[in-house]
Amino acid sequence: MYVMCSTPNVLVYLLVMSYFVVKIACRVEFTNIKCNSEDKEFSDFEYCYLKSVNRSYKYLSLKVNLFQVPVTKFSTKFGLYKRFSGYKPFLYNFTVNGCNFLKRPKSFPVVRYFYEIFKDYSNMNHSCPYDHDIIVDKLTIERINNRFSKTLTFPEGDYMFEFHFLAYGINRAVVKVYFTLS
């Protein structure tokens, strides 16, 4: 006696089995951060570090002291790099006018995707002018995990975010955040 499989039965079987399969998700881990002030008369980093509270909880914090305020015109060069015998550009490499973006973030969907990673942890949440120091306080890895595993998946490997902050067309600071995706 032969039992025939119908398409609906196969679909039900696959749905039931997929319920029991462990969801595969990537895990992001900070490995390093480097902050460099290119113009110490304009700005300097008071602190820039990764802190490991325990094996699973790490966070990033930095503070930039601005010496020539208010800043009414700035832009950011952003690059995502993946390590292939050295860090090579991977998917994103662009420059955005920071004042225009912060006025109308919905007009820049790719920039907004990355900005939303840290906006709740930073005081860079309003449009120009900036007349105060810039702080990113305790940016946890969970925020990045959500962006890199649930929203948009990326392949495993070593990565680097590189930010060049320009004010009035002059490069003022460079921040490099290194992380591993496994």
- The CATH number that applies at residue 99 is 2.70.220.10
18 in any annotated domain: no
Enumerate residue ranges in the chain where pLDDT < 50.
2, 10-11, 14-25
132 in any annotated domain: yes
What b/e sequence results for 62-83 when a residue is b if at least 16 CB atoms lie within 10 Å of its CB, and e otherwise?
Answer: bbbebeeeebeebbbebbbbbe
3 in any annotated domain: no
170 in any annotated domain: yes
Residue 20: the pLDDT is: 41
2 in any annotated domain: no
Q: How many domains does the chain have?
A: 1
46 in any annotated domain: yes
pLDDT in tens, 93-140: 889 999 999 999 888 888 888 888 888 899 988 888 999 999 999 998
Residue 10: the pLDDT is: 47
13 in any annotated domain: no
Residue 8: the pLDDT is: 53
Residue 22: the pLDDT is: 37
* 127-to-79, 98, 104 alpha-carbon distances in Å: 22, 8, 9
Residue 18: the pLDDT is: 43
Residue 123: the pLDDT is: 92
Residue 51: the pLDDT is: 93
User: Domain span at residue 154?
Assistant: 26-181
Reported pTM: 0.79
